[in-house]
Amino acid sequence: MKKILLLGFVVSLVGCATTPISTTMAKQSPKERLLAYQENKDGYAEVEITRDTGFLGSACYLSVLFRNETIGRFDTGEKATFYLPVGQWSMAVAPDPEGKGLCAGSSFNPAFEKQNIKPNVKNIFRISSGPYRRPRLLPL
């Protein structure tokens, strides 16, 4: 009986992770959900963000915060390009501020982390929901 319970627990943890999707396979987020940093300027760098696929959280959009401002809202398997200032900045994944219905009660504390935006390269990040219990923005 203990082995069956352990197996059930392990299987349930596997269901809590999302799966990375390549940037070539991800679909483009609609322009109406790209809220800021869409113009390339001097001192800015290209940043591509892709949200993983998978069942966990798939009913709700997730938003990306840059310096505590929502810059984009993502569905699973979507990607978007932003132009952010070069340097070390606080970024996080947060519940969708426009969530309705099932997603209106979605609540977790965003995990703000310093991300290094490098000049002259495409900076690539993924939104991942893994065993750490809340979505995170991970550099690739």
On whether residue 28 sits in a domain, the answer given is yes
Assigned domain for 9 exists: no
Write out the residue range of the structural domain in which residue 45 sits: 17-139
- The rounded distance, in Å, linking the Cα atoms of 87 and 132 is 26
d(CA 89, CA 20): 23
Number of structural domains, the chain? Answer: 1
Q: What is the pLDDT of residues 73-104, one digit of tens each?
A: 999 999 999 999 999 999 999 988 887 666 76
pLDDT (0 to 100) of residue 3:
52
CATH value at residue 35: 2.60.40
Q: Is the pLDDT of residue 7 over 50?
A: no
What was the pLDDT predicted at 8?
45
Does the pLDDT value for residue 5 go beyond 60? no
Query: What pLDDT shows up at residue 109?
Result: 83
In a domain, 57, yes or no: yes
pLDDT digit string, tens, across residues 15-71: 456 788 888 999 999 999 999 999 999 999 999 999 999 766 567 899 999 999 999
Q: Are 23 and 79 in contact (CB under 8 A)?
A: yes
d(CA 43, CA 54): 35
Please tell me the distance from the alpha carbon of residue 95 to that of residue 116, in angstroms, as a whole number.
Answer: 23
Radius of gyration, alpha carbons of the chain: 16
Instruction: Decide: 75 and 50 in contact? Cβ < 8 Å.
Output: no
1 assigned to some structural domain: no
Q: For the chain, what is the mean pLDDT? A: 85
Is residue 65 a part of any domain in this protein? yes
